[in-house]
C-alpha cells in the first residue's frame, strides 16, 4: 500500500486550486487523475496490474483493491478530520476530492480487470455513477432520471451531454453529503478532536467498501476465463 503521506500529497495535487465552474469539470479532473495517476499514486491500470501479479487472479486482485482503498480512504479521512469543526470546514474540499479520487481509482481498476476500456467515455460515466452506490442508482433509474445501472451505461450505444451533467451533479451531491457530514450525529462527533477523526475515517472506509462491492457486482467480466489484464495495460 502506498505511503499515506504521499497519498495525501497526490490528492492535494489533483484538487483544483480554485473552485471549478461545474461539478462535471471537477469530477472529470479527478477521474483523469485516478486513471492516469502520478509518481506518488499510480493510476488505476497500474494498480490493477500490480495486484493481479501479486494475487495471481483477477478476483483476488479485486479483493485486495477494495481492502486497500478502504484503508486508504480511512487514513485520509482521519488526517483531514483531526481537529474538529475547524478541520471540517477547511479540510472538506480536499477530503471530498480525496475520497472521489480514491474511490474512482478503485472502481476503474476493477473495471479494467473485468475487461472494460477505461478510455471509453461510457465506461468513465459508469465509473462515476458507481460512486453513488446501489440505492441511489436504483432510485434514479426507477424515477427515469438514469437510463440504467453502471453496467447499462458502460455498454450503452451512446450518452448525451445532458446525462453526463446529471451524473456529475448527482455524484457531487452524494460526495458533499458524505464528506460534509450533514447527519447531525456525525457532525457532533467530528467536533471532538481525535474522536471526530475516527468517525470520519470509519465512515469513509465503510462507504468505500460498499462502493467496491457495487463495482464488483456491476462490472461483470468481459474477459474469457483464461484471459487476464496485463500489468499496467
The segment with the largest mean pLDDT, out of 24-28, 84-88, 126-130, 203-207, is: 126-130
Residue 175 pLDDT exceeds 50: yes
pLDDT band at 166 (very low <50, low <70, confident <90, very high): confident
DSSP at 231: T
Residue 205 pLDDT exceeds 80: yes
- For residue 228, being part of any structural domain is answered with no
Could you tell me the sign of the dihedral formed by the alpha carbons of 154, 157, 158, 164, in that order?
negative
**What phi and psi, each to the nearest 5 degrees, are found at residue 82?**
-65, 130
- For residue 223, being part of any structural domain is answered with no
Higher pLDDT pick, 69 / 20: 69
Residue 137 pLDDT exceeds 70: yes
Mean pLDDT in residue range 109-116: 97
Q: In this structure, how many other beta carbons lie within 10 angstroms of the beta carbon of residue 9?
A: 14
Q: Range of 115's domain?
A: 4-15+22-218
Contact assessment for residue 166 and residue 145, using Cβ atoms and an 8 Å cutoff: yes
What cell was used for 183?
A: 447527519
Contact assessment for residue 187 and residue 181, using Cβ atoms and an 8 Å cutoff: yes
DSSP at 223: S
The segment with the largest mean pLDDT, out of 1-5, 68-72, 158-162, 198-202, is: 68-72
User: Which pTM does this prediction carry?
Assistant: 0.76
pLDDT band at 27 (very low <50, low <70, confident <90, very high): confident
- For residue 132, being part of any structural domain is answered with yes
The span from the CA of 128 to the CA of 150, in Å, is 9
What cell was used for 142?
A: 426507477
- For residue 153, being part of any structural domain is answered with yes
Q: What is the model's pLDDT at position 182? A: 40
Contact assessment for residue 218 and residue 150, using Cβ atoms and an 8 Å cutoff: yes
Which of 10, 21, 30, 168 minimizes the C-alpha distance to 97?
30
Mean pLDDT in residue range 55-59: 95
CA distances from 206 to 46, 60, 77, 162 (A): 24, 20, 12, 31
What cell was used for 143?
A: 424515477
Total count of domains within the chain = 1
Residue 90 pLDDT exceeds 80: no
pLDDT band at 50 (very low <50, low <70, confident <90, very high): very high
Higher pLDDT pick, 18 / 46: 46
Work out the mean pLDDT of the chain and round it to a whole number. 75
Mean pLDDT in residue range 32-43: 87
Radius of gyration of the chain (CA): 17
- For residue 224, being part of any structural domain is answered with no
Mean pLDDT in residue range 131-157: 90
Q: What is the model's pLDDT at position 232? A: 54
Q: What is the model's pLDDT at position 173? A: 76
Would you give the end-to-end CA distance of the chain in angstroms?
A: 20
- For residue 142, being part of any structural domain is answered with yes
- For residue 232, being part of any structural domain is answered with no
- For residue 139, being part of any structural domain is answered with yes
Which of 134, 99, 113, 132 minimizes the C-alpha distance to 217?
134
DSSP at 144: T
Amino acid at each position: 500500500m502506498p505511503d499515506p503521506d504521499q497519498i495525501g500529497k497526490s490528492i492535494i495535487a489533483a484538487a483544483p486550486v480554485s473552485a471549478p465552474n461545474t461539478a462535471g469539470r471537477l469530477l472529470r479532473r479527478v477521474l483523469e487523475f485516478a486513471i492516469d495517476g502520478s509518481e506518488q499514486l499510480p493510476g488505476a491500470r497500474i494498480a490493477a496490474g500490480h495486484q493481479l501479479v501479486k494475487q495471481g487472479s483477477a478476483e483476488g486482485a479485486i479483493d485486495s483493491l477494495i481492502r486497500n482503498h478502504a484503508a486508504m480512504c480511512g487514513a485520509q479521512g482521519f488526517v483531514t478530520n483531526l481537529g474538529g469543526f475547524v478541520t471540517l470546514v477547511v479540510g472538506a474540499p480536499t477530503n471530498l476530492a480525496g475520497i472521489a479520487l480514491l474511490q474512482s481509482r478503485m472502481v476503474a481498476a476493477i473495471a479494467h480487470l473485468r475487461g472494460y476500456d477505461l478510455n471509453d467515455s461510457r465506461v468513465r460515466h459508469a465509473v462515476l455513477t458507481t460512486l453513488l452506490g446501489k440505492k441511489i442508482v436504483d432510485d434514479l433509474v426507477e424515477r427515469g432520471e438514469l437510463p440504467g445501472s453502471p453496467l447499462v451505461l458502460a455498454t450503452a450505444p451512446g450518452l448525451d451531454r445532458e446525462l453526463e451533467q446529471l451524473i456529475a451533479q448527482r455524484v457531487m451531491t452524494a460526495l458533499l453529503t458524505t464528506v460534509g457530514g450533514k447527519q447531525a450525529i456525525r457532525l457532533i462527533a467530528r467536533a471532538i478532536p481525535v474522536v471526530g477523526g475516527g468517525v470520519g475515517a470509519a465512515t469513509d472506509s465503510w462507504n468505500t467498501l460498499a462502493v467496491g462491492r457495487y463495482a464488483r457486482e456491476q462490472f461483470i467480466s468481459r474477459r474469457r476465463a483464461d484471459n487476464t489484464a496485463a500489468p499496467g495495460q
